């Protein structure tokens, strides 16, 4: 059997001493591929000033393809805490003023500067005293003042599903600025 170049150049595949075809390849991960195709996005709340427990972000996927949350970035500014702040990630929340008030996030941007594609999601930012109800708790993260954390999670959010994040900064007095960013991509169909 002979393997020849299909373009008509007459080139043949090289076989090594172990009778294996030699090839060269470049491998890129799904996130990078999505970014190259203009299907990767940054969803960011911008600063939220907290004086008590509240909410951070809600995202519902309205795309026909799955939405993959690769990483969640959290940041706490200065504040007087009685204990480490608690961040709760909720799967498919159903209510609360985070959803009903529908305050758009500050940033919902394509991470490929050359792409004009936009992400079809409901993306709302939270507030101090905000509420989030229903769904099921999925993850718990602890942070202290002046701390930033990038949490790789790789959650897959099918169309019609959502994720919400609530926060208790454990403030003993004053206020604290926080933000939350989701690095996401739309999954390529296979």
Question: Which pLDDT tens digit goes with each residue over 154-182?
Answer: 999 999 999 999 999 999 999 999 999 99
Asked if 44 contacts 110 with a C-beta cutoff of 8 angstroms, the reply is: no
Nearest partner of 46 among 178, 182, 185, judged by Cα: 178
The CA-based angle 119-120-123, given to 5 degrees, is: 90
**What residues does 68 pair with on adjacent strands?**
156, 185
The model's pLDDT over 24-77, given as tens digits with 9 standing for 90+, comes to 877 788 888 888 899 999 999 999 999 999 999 999 999 999 999 999 999 999
Residue 93: the pLDDT is 98
Q: CA-CA distance, 72 to 86, in Å (whole number)?
A: 15
* Domain covering 40-186 assigned CATH 1.10.510 in the classification: no
Query: How long, in residues, is the chain?
Result: 190
Helix (H, G, I), strand (E, B) or coil at 166: strand
**Global pTM?**
0.85
The model's pLDDT over 95-152, given as tens digits with 9 standing for 90+, comes to 999 999 999 999 999 999 999 999 999 999 999 999 999 999 999 999 988 889 999 9
1 pLDDT more than 80? no
Q: Where are the domains of the chain?
A: 40-186
């Amino acid at each position: 059997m002979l393997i020849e170049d299909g373009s008509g150049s007459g080139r043949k595949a090289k076989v090594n001493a172990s009778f294996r075809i030699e090839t060269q390849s470049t491998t890129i991960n799904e996130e990078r591929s999505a970014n190259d195709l203009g299907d990767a996005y940054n969803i960011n709340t911008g600063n939220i000033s907290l004086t008590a427990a509240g909410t951070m972000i809600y995202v519902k996927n309205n795309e026909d393809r799955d939405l993959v949350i690769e990483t969640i970035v959290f940041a706490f500014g200065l504040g007087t805490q009685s204990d480490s702040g608690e961040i709760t990630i909720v799967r498919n929340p159903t209510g609360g003023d985070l959803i009903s008030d529908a305050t758009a996030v500050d940033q919902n941007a394509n991470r490929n500067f050359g792409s004009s594609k936009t992400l079809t999601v409901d993306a709302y930012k939270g507030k101090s005293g905000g509420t989030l109800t229903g769904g099921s708790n999925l993850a718990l993260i602890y942070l202290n003042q002046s701390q930033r954390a990038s949490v790789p999670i790789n959650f897959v959010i099918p169309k019609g599903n959502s994720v919400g994040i609530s926060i208790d900064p454990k403030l003993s007095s004053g206020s604290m600025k926080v933000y939350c960013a989701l690095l996401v991509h739309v999954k390529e169909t296979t």
